[in-house]
Amino acid sequence: MKKVILSFVALLIINLTSYSQTTKQEWSKMMESYKNSVESVLSKECPKNMELEKFRTSLILGENKLSSNGLTEISKLTSPLKDYGKEFATKHKLELTDEASLIFYSSFSPDTEVVNGEIIAGKVGAPGPGLTWAEVGNCALAALGADALYSLAYSGASSWSAAALTTTFTGVAKRFLGPIGVGIAVVTFGLCIANESTD
């Protein structure tokens, strides 16, 4: 009987932890760790005469290529992002279209407001912390370059569908490197979004 009770308690604990929600602090730690790990991989492959940030952008734009080892390393690093992305999508009932969308969803912290599939951004001049679509566009520019800024030129909108934002961002980021391109770009985007939403 004791074994049955212990087995039941262990099963209950496993089930409870599988439904636990990531906190903002855990998300921040995950993103910082991922950023440092990706930068470590990229710095090994970055040409000596190029800044790391320019190398990262050139990879996303297809101007440079990562070695197969670099691609494999970054692919392995995205596992926690995909897990969190699935958690975020499930919590907000967002469509899980592919691996790239899971990685992209990881760029939003747990306190991101999503209502009926719309990511809600605060309006310009609203009191307290918030995020404007202009700030989202600036973060996309930092992560992807001018193509994204043009695609995300919705600075006057008060909300935008998660599906449309995901399609636009992942479409640009995976053009040359597939989900790896999203993985490289998403950390810059996510940390920028988190920073902008607190100012």
The whole-number pLDDT of residue 17 equals 42
Judge whether 24 and 109 are in contact, CB under 8 Å: yes
Is residue 97 one of the residues assigned to a domain? yes
Best-predicted range by mean pLDDT among 94-103, 113-122, 134-143, 176-185? Answer: 94-103
Q: What is the pLDDT of residues 65-89, one digit of tens each?
A: 899 999 999 989 999 999 999 999 9
Q: Which amino acid is at 62?
A: G
Position with higher pLDDT, 180 vs 161: 180
Mean pLDDT calculated for residue range 105-121: 81
| Residue range of the domain that includes 56 | 30-44+51-197
Shortest CA distance to 186 belongs to which of 169, 162, 171?
A: 169
One DSSP character per residue, the chain reads -HHHHHHHHHHHHHHHHHTPPPPHHHHHHHHHHHHHHHHHHHHHHS-TTS-HHHHHHHHHTTSS---HHHHHHHHHHTHHHHHHHHHHHHHTT-----HHHHHHHTTS-TT--EETTEEE-PPTT-SSS---HHHHHHHHHHHH-HHHHHHT--TT-SEEEHHHHHHHHHHHHHHHHTHHHHHHHHHHHHHHHHHHHT-
pTM of the model: 0.75
Position with higher pLDDT, 139 vs 133: 139
Q: What is the pLDDT of residues 4-31, one digit of tens each?
A: 454 444 444 444 444 468 898 999 999 9
Percent of the chain with pLDDT over 70: 73
Mean pLDDT calculated for residue range 166-190: 80
Is residue 13 one of the residues assigned to a domain? no
Position with higher pLDDT, 135 vs 185: 185
The whole-number pLDDT of residue 79 equals 93
Is residue 57 one of the residues assigned to a domain? yes
The whole-number pLDDT of residue 69 equals 94
- Each residue of 96-133: b (16+ CB within 10 Å) or e? eeebbbbbbbbbbbbebebeeebbebbeeeeeeebbbb
Judge whether 133 and 160 are in contact, CB under 8 Å: yes
Position with higher pLDDT, 75 vs 146: 75
Domain count across the chain:
1
Is residue 135 one of the residues assigned to a domain? yes
Position with higher pLDDT, 147 vs 165: 165
Is residue 5 one of the residues assigned to a domain? no
Is residue 14 one of the residues assigned to a domain? no
Say if residue 100's pLDDT is above 50: yes
Distance CA 199, CA 50 (A): 32
